Amino acid sequence: MPKKRREEEISFTPAILRRREEPLIEDTTGVEQLAVFRASERIGRALSGVMIAAGALLLLFSVSAAVSGTWFTAEMRFPVTLLIGFIGVINTLCGLVLLAKE
C-alpha cells in the first residue's frame, strides 16, 4: 500500500502587501529635549526677575543700614539674613536650570 502524501498548503503574504509594524520603542529624546529647554527658559526668566528684586531689596537694606549706622542690630539681622539665604536658594535653582538646558 502506498502511503498517501499529505499536501501541505504553504501561504505567505507578499512583501508589498505586508503592513509595517510600528516600533515598540520610539526615540523621543528630541521632543523631550525641546520641552525641557522651553520650560527651563520660562523658569529662568522668572528666577532672573526674582533674583533682581531680591538683590535690589538687599541693596536697599544695606544702604539704609550703612546710612543709619546700624549694621548688625537685631532688627536688621533677620531681614538681611533671610534675603541672603533666599538669594542662595534661588542661585542654586538657577544653576540647576542652567544644567537642565545642557
Q: How far apart are CA 62 and CA 67, in angstroms?
A: 9
Q: Which grid coordinates are listed for 83?
A: 534675603
DSSP conformation class of 16: T
Does 18 fall in a domain?
no
pLDDT digits (tens, 9 = 90+) for 33-88: 888 888 888 888 888 888 888 888 888 888 887 888 776 677 777 877 888 888 88
Does 97 fall in a domain?
yes
Task: Say if CB 51 and CB 97 are below 8 A apart.
Answer: no
Does 76 fall in a domain?
yes
Is residue 1's pLDDT more than 60?
no
Is residue 4's pLDDT more than 80?
no
Domain count, the chain: 1
Give the model's confidence band at 100: pLDDT under 50 very low, under 70 low, under 90 confident, else very high: confident
Domain of 66 in residue numbering reads as 29-101
The pLDDT of residue 6 is 64
Does 21 fall in a domain?
no
pTM of the predicted model as reported, rounded to 2 decimal places:
0.56
